[in-house]
Amino acid sequence: MQEVTKLNRNGLTISTLGSHCSLQLLKGAKDEGFKTLLISEESRLGFYQRFNFIDDIFPVKSFKEFLAESCQQYIKRKNAILIPHGTLIAYLDNEQIESITVPIFGNRWILRWEADRKLKQRLMEESELRTPKIVETKEHIDKLCIVKLHGAAGGRGYFLAWNKESFENAATKLIQSMVIRSENELYIQEYVIGVPVYLQFFYSPITRKVDLMGVDRRYESDIDALARIPAKQQLELCIEPSYNVIGNSPLVLRESLLPEIYSMGEKFVETTKRLVHPGIPGPFCIEGVYDRDGRFTAFEFSARIVAGTNIFLDGSPYSGLIFDKPMSMGRRIAYEIKLARRKAALRMVLT
């Protein structure tokens, strides 16, 4: 069982795994006056030692060692809270994450809803988000579809299909290159034409407010580079584009879209409270596409901080409307922990 009660409210440390958005998280923690601890793979020690806002580094050979008693005990001795991010999810399965004994910021049980396609779909539908049509089998493909692997793969291995044959061709290649074992591991979804947008929210159970903290778009290899190749060569090369995220860039949306975005975030928070106690304290991201009529279709959510928040280390055009100081998502998390500590309500933000 996690040990929220054993935390000493004074002298808290904020810790995370060295990858994904760890620099942003620990910089934010330091700016809010916390001590910081990084769990780093040995190969990256030299890199992380460059940053003076990291007070302490616990080295591991691989993040798979994170659950080892020595690592867990060290974090506890430091009186630390763990901030989960995409790397934790990539290295540990749901049971392992749920069994971590260190207190975690946010709802550890909701990460299962992010990883499981059926649970994810249910949460989005009950939040009344418009979602892309799910195509049950390859026989039902009658328009452009995107075919995905289960779990967060960072878009790796995704492909487009427009009929049964194009599906089978691409699936066979994935099987031959041993990315998947069978077609059953694939999930087919209607492809929504429009611009992809990632909406970064923060929910505070202390102030009971949902804030839009930033918006980004992803820069993916090689789908985003294909337009640099003239059509003639594209046709001859027959490139199957991948959607591997390489980086993110900031986006500012039409102001008229914002009221709807705020209600989407609020409905989402209310639904999480109903479906996965205690809801979603902290950061989350609703990910989707705006079509030509300005209609938003959500294809994903992340139930924790996303790496796209790294853009806004000094705040975003949205966080700047709410806070008088530069407020990254990492700093917002640390600030929430401070608010909760002041109100003796750490249990509202930790699980």
Contact positions vs ligand ADP (CB under 6 A): 132, 146, 152-155, 158, 189, 191-192, 196, 218, 220, 243, 287, 289, 299-300
Choose between 295 and 325: whose C-beta lies nearer to ligand ADP: 295
- The C-alpha atoms of residue 154 and residue 214 are separated, in whole angstroms, by 20
Listed residue (317, 177, 313) closest to 258, CA to CA: 317
Choose between 54 and 161: whose C-beta lies nearer to ligand ADP: 161
State the minimum distance, in angstroms, from the CB of residue 334 to ligand ADP.
Answer: 26
State the minimum distance, in angstroms, from the CB of residue 131 to ligand ADP.
Answer: 8
State the minimum distance, in angstroms, from the CB of residue 304 to ligand ADP.
Answer: 13
Write the DSSP string, 220-240.
EEEGGGGGGS-HHHHHHHT--
171's CB contacts (< 8 A; 6+ apart) are: 138, 147, 180, 183, 186
Choose between 101 and 244: whose C-beta lies nearer to ligand ADP: 244
Choose between 154 and 326: whose C-beta lies nearer to ligand ADP: 154
Strands (E), the chain: 13-17, 35-41, 56-60, 80-82, 134-135, 145-149, 159-161, 186-190, 195-204, 209-222, 243-250, 282-290, 296-302
Neighbours of 242 (CB within 10 A): 15
State the minimum distance, in angstroms, from the CB of residue 300 to ligand ADP.
Answer: 4
Choose between 27 and 218: whose C-beta lies nearer to ligand ADP: 218
38-to-178, 216, 325 alpha-carbon distances in Å: 34, 26, 25
Question: Is the omega angle on the peptide bond into residue 211 within 30 degrees of 0, that is, cis?
Answer: no
State the minimum distance, in angstroms, from the CB of residue 11 to ligand ADP.
Answer: 37
Write the DSSP string, 41-87.
EGGGHHHHTT-TT--EEEEESSGGGGGSHHHHHHHHHTTEEEPP-HH
Choose between 66 and 243: whose C-beta lies nearer to ligand ADP: 243
State the minimum distance, in angstroms, from the CB of residue 198 to ligand ADP.
Answer: 8
Torsion of CA 306, 311, 317, 323, to 10 degrees: 70
Helices 329-342 and 22-31 meet at what angle, rounded to 10? Answer: 40
Choose between 76 and 133: whose C-beta lies nearer to ligand ADP: 133
State the minimum distance, in angstroms, from the CB of residue 287 to ligand ADP.
Answer: 5
- The C-alpha atoms of residue 132 and residue 190 are separated, in whole angstroms, by 5
State the minimum distance, in angstroms, from the CB of residue 112 to ligand ADP.
Answer: 15
Which position has the token pair 């839009």? 212
Choose between 25 and 303: whose C-beta lies nearer to ligand ADP: 303
Please, what's the largest Cα pairwise distance for the chain?
Answer: 65
Choose between 34 and 243: whose C-beta lies nearer to ligand ADP: 243
State the minimum distance, in angstroms, from the CB of residue 120 to ligand ADP.
Answer: 10
Determine the residue type at 25. Answer: L
